[in-house]
Structure 1
Amino acid sequence: MSMDPLLAKARGLWEDLAGVPVSFAPTGGVNVVVSPESGVCPVGWAGVVALGESAIVTVPSESAAVIVRDALTRLPVDAAAVREVLPLARVLGPAVLSYMSPEGFRPVAGSSTVEQLSGHHPALRSLETAAGPEDAAEAALDEITSPVFVVREHGKVVAAAGYQTWPRRTAHFSVLTAPAVRGRGLARATGSAAVTHALAAGLLPQWRARLRASQRVAAALGFEELGAQLSIEI
């Protein structure tokens, strides 16, 4: 049976980011490889990506590979389960990985006026300050390479979305909304404008989210959850 094209594209991206030859097993399971320069996780950590019924894991050394193979080959990509096996490890994630086909896009036709700014516009730094350091770091607006799509209220940017161009012609999305205006659909409005831009450029939209609120925005726009990612300090 042929693989879903969206899943195949997502897997190809993360196989490239692994930095060494590795592939997702077609029949399920986990493939662990040593890759000190892996782009899947922070340097010196193990990176786990599960897509469909299989996963790949990159580790920085052979000794780490032995530990991780024993711990992860029998586990789902779940931070709580990992902590049970590796109680001293620090874990980032898991974050849900969602992707979109052009046919699945559900654009938002809201009442909010969406403007376009450059990624270096000072108004974005003000939004990051309002959102707080944790949310700002998660959104990483400063890494956006596309135009940034924003909503203003009373002259201030209160919501923003854009994307960073990743390998395999992938658009990795960033979205941030000021706490005072959350729940009003502004993330969907700005996200919709950014997705429209990415699809027009022929890119594969990728949405990575830990928080349920962000996952709900992705689902509302037509993203499909295909798997998850987490990083484990070795």
Structure 2
Amino acid sequence: MANSALLDRARDLWVTLAGAATTFPASDVRVTVAVGSRLCPPGWAGIVVLGDAGIATAPDAATARFLREALAGRPARSAVHAERWSGAPGVADVLGPAALAYLDEKEFKPATAVADVEWLRPGHPDIGELLAGVSEEEAAESGIDDVTSSVFVIREGGRLVAAAGYRRWPSSVAHLSVLTSSHCRGRGLAGAVASAAVAEAQRNELLPQWRARPEPSQRLARRLGFCQLGTQVSIRVAADHA
């Protein structure tokens, strides 16, 4: 079970990203209008539940009203279930849900080294070659092209086959990114590079965050000691319902 300090730090981050005056309630989901919210893409509504409570942002008052009516009387955790929104009247599209996991420094379980790990500067051309070998969806999910830290990599035959790093987020959070070539998965490479990135984040006194939709990525986070504290989902409300 996660300690309360870890939960508080995670909540501080998402309150900051909401871009509006809000807090996590004792239970249920608090909805706020926030045009510049970073909980979701522009024009969408974003919902983040951490523990037994959540916050949600809407781009306008009409969408906020839609959310409040849709969430009224329901447990907070149901607000981030995909089946709650997929095909629901008034919902045009859904992104997620994505699991949100965080790592207490004492719980870190580095992966066993399976290959030599080196590091590159962010934006190194070899990272582009790795990205070119996966689907657009996998590249976007990984976020490896957006990291600001060193990029920790493994090569085979001179070519990158795995990479990890992090982007520094508000509230001293390190948002992890990991990507492995499709033909090299299941061999422990992702764990090796992710461990190096996590170790650097902790040396810099940052809180590692792992956000993932695919189950294999969530399993890797658990093996490294991350604790899932919540879930994030974004929805686009149809114009005739907002």
State the TM bucket, normalised to the shorter chain.
Answer: over 0.9
Distance in 2 between the 1:131 and 1:231 partners? 24
| 2:167 is aligned with 1:168 | no
| 2:46 is aligned with 1:47 | yes
Instruction: Say if 1:97 and 1:227, in contact at 8 Å, map to a contact too.
Output: yes
Q: TM-score, normalised by structure 2?
A: 0.93
RMSD of aligned alpha carbons: 1.1
Counterpart AA for 2:4? D
Distance in 2 between the 1:141 and 1:86 partners? 35
Q: TM-score, normalised by structure 1?
A: 0.96
Match of 1:203 in 2: 206
Q: Within 5 Å, which residues of 2 pair with 1:64-213? A: 64-73=63-72, 74=74, 75-86=78-89, 88-213=91-216
Distance in 2 between the 1:50 and 1:165 partners? 21
- Which shifted more, 137-146 or 147-156? 137-146
Counterpart AA for 1:111? V
Shift of 1:56: 0.4
Distance in 1 between the 2:96 and 2:30 partners? 19
Distance in 2 between the 1:118 and 1:80 partners? 41
Counterpart AA for 2:167? Q
Shift of 1:85: 3.2
Shift of 1:142: 1.6
Counterpart AA for 2:176? F
Percent pairwise identity: 47
Query: Which ranges in structure 2 are unaligned for 5 or more consecutive residues?
Result: 238-242
Shift of 1:111: 2.6
Match of 1:57 in 2: 56
Shift of 1:82: 1.4
Instruction: Say if 1:96 and 1:208, in contact at 8 Å, map to a contact too.
Output: yes
Distance in 1 between the 2:62 and 2:123 partners? 42
Counterpart AA for 2:44? W
Kindly tell me the number of residue pairs found equivalent between the two proteins: 231
Distance in 2 between the 1:94 and 1:65 partners? 19
Match of 1:34 in 2: 33
Shift of 1:87: 5.5
Instruction: Say if 2:114 and 2:189, in contact at 8 Å, map to a contact too.
Output: no
| 2:13 is aligned with 1:10 | no
Instruction: Say if 2:47 and 2:54, in contact at 8 Å, map to a contact too.
Output: yes
Shift of 1:80: 1.2
Distance in 1 between the 2:201 and 2:70 partners? 38
SS across alignment from 2:65: helix
SS across alignment from 2:233: strand
Query: Which ranges in structure 1 are unaligned for 5 or more consecutive residues?
Result: none
Q: Deviations over 1:172-220 (max 9, x none)?
A: 0100000000000111000000000000000000000000000011011
